[in-house]
């Protein structure tokens, strides 16, 4: 969590940093701040609260300069407050730093410095970096950065400014993302590409413990032993507009509406001529005895769909595991296991740890990632990219759909590899898949239907989601989406589980969202619906079957997939829209829900 940005160049730094921070706010929004180096002095303005609070503080106390660093915080050590905000300064105000990550030995280092008379101002783990830097500094900032990072344990992406070296911005990282943007008007550091896209699409990725020294007209990369490293910049295909709201009120809504395009691009990417095709074709399912999915949050929910779809289509053993559990549970995997890690950001700490654990055990690893050059993308043995483009809203929507599309394609590929489908059957499955984007598009013609229903739900205290098989996996996602942006308590249950306890919570007026798009299980879910209706619930029923009729308490949302196995891609869009409108009617902060951050880089 936390977003960092830095700039050195010919332009005025403050607007560039503020703009970059806006793009990084999804990573944390407890406080924000910036430091500018001008005429040999470092000035800091930082403020608890959203970026608008920092903008106001800068109106009171304007800064100018051509080199600076900025930060938007998701609090880990110390409450959100002005003093705990970044940038942090050393006691002599010579060195300023911004930090994303966690310094695990900060207590020990702090006590050591305090014994030597250093006075700390904040409760953060990050301040130790600034204090230590000033303590070690003997005039050579590179040397200082190396000594500081040698003393640190934990994870970090760091930006340094030093009054002794007023033309240089120094960056270093370990286990947290940091990109370097290169442009004619200056050079940038940032936690993520959208923060610099307005200025450049030429990006270099910093590897663990590498150091970048940025000046206005050059960037030099060093190893931790001070050897110069040559890097060739990559050109990012995302454009600036794709990271903008483009006239929509919220990023989440824009991203929901982008899904037909995202599905189309992602499906094409896996077909002959597409960028993911060669990687998918090269996977030899014959060398594996099992598949393990591991991921967090929504990406885990995609894994659940993947488990059901792959098992059914491929008749192959598949396990879906939360990355935070997988990393510690000593799973039974070996060189004959394919571990598939799914992640939008490619930087989720638990998913990275799960990937490393899988590799340590000798498994072959495949990453399904959205952010090019992210840690998971780089560390996996094989990587395929979802074509979602930058996803800004904290609640994922289009990345979820893109992950699902790649899973369908993998399932078809593996089914062929295992001889479970004949060539005509494979062609038919792919033809169904290629119709999916149009089907998603068609669904948007009925948005007002879900909007009207949501208008009757925003006062609910609790909402239950039920389904079986893939519909259960989508129920999990619907429930997660609702609670993260509307703060309404909700639970998802496999339909058959309801009567084993949870049904006691159903009372007059409780809302149950039921999903039944799996034909052979329709009757089972329909009878779960009857059970809750007879206990006073009202039900929103998403179904592909025409058997049920609407009543006062039972509202229908029809789903008409071209083929049953693709229904999750449509039902999830209804549920995303449902959560979105419920949160809108409740007046919630849709794109930046409380306590959350988009990229969870802490354990």
Any idea which residues carry the catalytic annotation? 2, 598
Structural element, H or E, at residue 527: helix 522-533
Q: For helices 297-314 and 398-417, what crossing angle results, to 10°? A: 20
Kindly list the strands in the beta sheet with 3-9, ordered across the sheet, starting from the edge strand earlier in the chain: 41-48, 31-38, 67-73, 3-9, 186-190, 179-183, 202-205, 234-235
Structural tokens at position 453:
């229903």
Q: Which stretch binds ligand AGP (CB under 6 A): 119-127, 248-256, 393-401, 570-578?
A: 393-401
CA-CA distance, 463 to 458, in Å (whole number)?
10
Q: Considering the complex, state which of residue 257 and residue 412 has its C-beta at the smaller distance from ligand AGP.
A: 257
Q: Which stretch binds ligand AGP (CB under 6 A): 81-89, 345-353, 439-447, 547-555?
A: 345-353
Residue 568 binds to ligand AGP (criterion: CB under 6 A):
no
Residue 351 binds to ligand AGP (criterion: CB under 6 A):
yes
Q: Which stretch binds ligand AGP (CB under 6 A): 157-165, 181-189, 392-400, 564-572?
A: 392-400
Residues 484-513 that bind ligand AGP (CB under 6 A): 484
Count CB-CB contacts under 10 A for residue 167. Answer: 12
Contact assessment for residue 102 and residue 76, using Cβ atoms and an 8 Å cutoff: yes
Residue 600 binds to ligand AGP (criterion: CB under 6 A):
yes
Residue 396 binds to ligand AGP (criterion: CB under 6 A):
yes
Tokens 């993308």 sit at which residue? 377
Q: Please report how close the Cβ of residue 480 comes to ligand AGP at its closest, in angstroms.
A: 6
Residue 266 binds to ligand AGP (criterion: CB under 6 A):
no
Q: Which stretch binds ligand AGP (CB under 6 A): 89-97, 193-201, 205-213, 390-398?
A: 390-398
Residue 302 binds to ligand AGP (criterion: CB under 6 A):
no
Which of 462, 510, 460 lies closest to 490, judged by CA?
Answer: 462
Residue 401 binds to ligand AGP (criterion: CB under 6 A):
no
CA-CA distance, 431 to 439, in Å (whole number)?
13
CA-CA distance, 325 to 321, in Å (whole number)?
7
Residue 377 binds to ligand AGP (criterion: CB under 6 A):
no
Q: Please report how close the Cβ of residue 398 comes to ligand AGP at its closest, in angstroms.
A: 11
DSSP letters for 16-57: HHHHHHHHHGGG--SEEEEEEEETTEEEEEEEESSHHHHHHH
DSSP bridge partners of 228? 222
CA-CA distance, 448 to 163, in Å (whole number)?
57
Q: Considering the complex, state which of residue 133 and residue 352 has its C-beta at the smaller distance from ligand AGP.
A: 352
CA-CA distance, 137 to 164, in Å (whole number)?
10
Which of 131, 149, 176, 348 contacts ligand AGP by CB under 6 A?
348
Q: Which stretch binds ligand AGP (CB under 6 A): 122-130, 256-264, 342-350, 579-587?
A: 342-350
Residue 297 binds to ligand AGP (criterion: CB under 6 A):
yes
Residue 298 binds to ligand AGP (criterion: CB under 6 A):
yes
Residue 345 binds to ligand AGP (criterion: CB under 6 A):
yes
Which of 31, 43, 201, 344 contacts ligand AGP by CB under 6 A?
344
Contact residues for ligand AGP, defined by CB under 6 A:
296-299, 343-345, 348, 351, 394-396, 484, 599-600
């Amino acid at each position: 969590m936390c977003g960092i940005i830095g700039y050195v160049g010919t332009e005025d730094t403050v607007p560039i940093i503020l703009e970059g921070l806006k793009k990084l706010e999804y990573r944390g929004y407890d406080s924000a701040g910036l430091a500018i180096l001008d005429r040999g002095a470092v000035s800091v303005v930082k403020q608890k609260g959203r970026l608008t609070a920092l903008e106001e503080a800068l109106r009171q106390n304007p800064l100018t300069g051509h080199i600076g660093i900025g930060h938007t915080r998701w609090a880990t050590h110390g409450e959100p407050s002005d003093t705990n905000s970044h940038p942090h300064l050393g006691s002599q105000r010579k060195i300023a730093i911004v930090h994303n990550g966690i310094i695990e030995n900060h207590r020990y280092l702090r006590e050591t410095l305090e014994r030597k008379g250093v006075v700390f101002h904040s409760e953060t783990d990050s301040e130790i970096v600034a204090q230590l830097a000033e303590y070690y500094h003997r005039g050579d900032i590179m040397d200082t950065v190396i000594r500081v990072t040698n003393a640190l344990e934990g994870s970090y992406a760091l930006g340094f400014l030093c009054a002794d070296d007023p033309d240089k911005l120094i960056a270093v990282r370990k286990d947290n993302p940091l990109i370097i943007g290169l442009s004619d008007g200056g050079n940038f550091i940032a936690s993520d590409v959208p923060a610099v896209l307005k200025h450049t699409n030429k990006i270099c990725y910093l590897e663990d413990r590498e150091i970048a020294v940025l000046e206005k007209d050059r960037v030099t990369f060093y190893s931790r032993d001070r050897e110069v490293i040559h890097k060739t910049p990559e050109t990012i295909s995302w454009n600036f507009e794709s990271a903008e709201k483009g006239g929509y009120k919220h990023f989440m809504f824009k991203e929901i509406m982008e899904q037909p395009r995202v599905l189309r691009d992602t499906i094409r990417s896996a077909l002959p001529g597409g960028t993911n095709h060669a990687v998918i074709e090269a996977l030899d399912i014959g060398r594996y005895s099992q598949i393990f999915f591991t991921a967090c949050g929504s990406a885990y929910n995609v894994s659940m769909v993947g488990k059901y779809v792959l098992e059914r289509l491929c008749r192959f053993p598949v396990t879906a595991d939360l990355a935070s559990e997988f990393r510690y549970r000593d799973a039974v995997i070996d060189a004959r296991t394919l571990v598939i890690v799914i992640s939008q950001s490619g930087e989720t700490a638990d998913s990275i740890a799960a990937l490393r654990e899988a590799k340590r055990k000798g498994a072959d690893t495949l990453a399904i990632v959205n952010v090019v050059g992210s840690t998971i993308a780089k560390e996996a043995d094989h990587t395929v990219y979802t074509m979602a483009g930058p996803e800004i809203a904290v609640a994922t929507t289009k990345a979820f759909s893109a992950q699902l599309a790649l899973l369908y394609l993998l399932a078809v590929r593996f089914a062929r590899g295992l001889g479970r489908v004949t060539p005509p059957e494979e062609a038919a499955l792919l033809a169904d898949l290629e119709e999916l984007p149009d089907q998603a598009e068609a669904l948007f013609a009925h948005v007002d239907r879900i909007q009207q229903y949501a208008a009757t739900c925003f006062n609910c205290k609790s909402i239950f989601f039920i389904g079986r098989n893939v519909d259960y996996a989508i129920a999990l996602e619907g429930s997660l989406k609702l609670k993260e942006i509307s703060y309404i308590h909700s639970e998802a249950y496999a339909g058959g589980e309801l009567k084993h306890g949870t049904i006691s919570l159903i009372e007059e007026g409780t809302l149950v969202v039921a999903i039944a798009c799996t034909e052979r299980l329709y009757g089972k879910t329909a009878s779960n619906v009857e059970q809750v209706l007879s206990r006073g619930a009202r039900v929103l029923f998403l179904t592909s079957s025409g058997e049920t009729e609407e009543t006062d308490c039972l509202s229908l949302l029809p789903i008409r997939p071209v083929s049953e196995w693709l229904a999750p891609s449509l039902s999830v869009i209804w549920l995303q829209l449902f959560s979105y409108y419920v949160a809108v009617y409740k007046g919630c902060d849709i794109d930046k829900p409380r306590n959350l951050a988009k990229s969870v880089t802490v354990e």
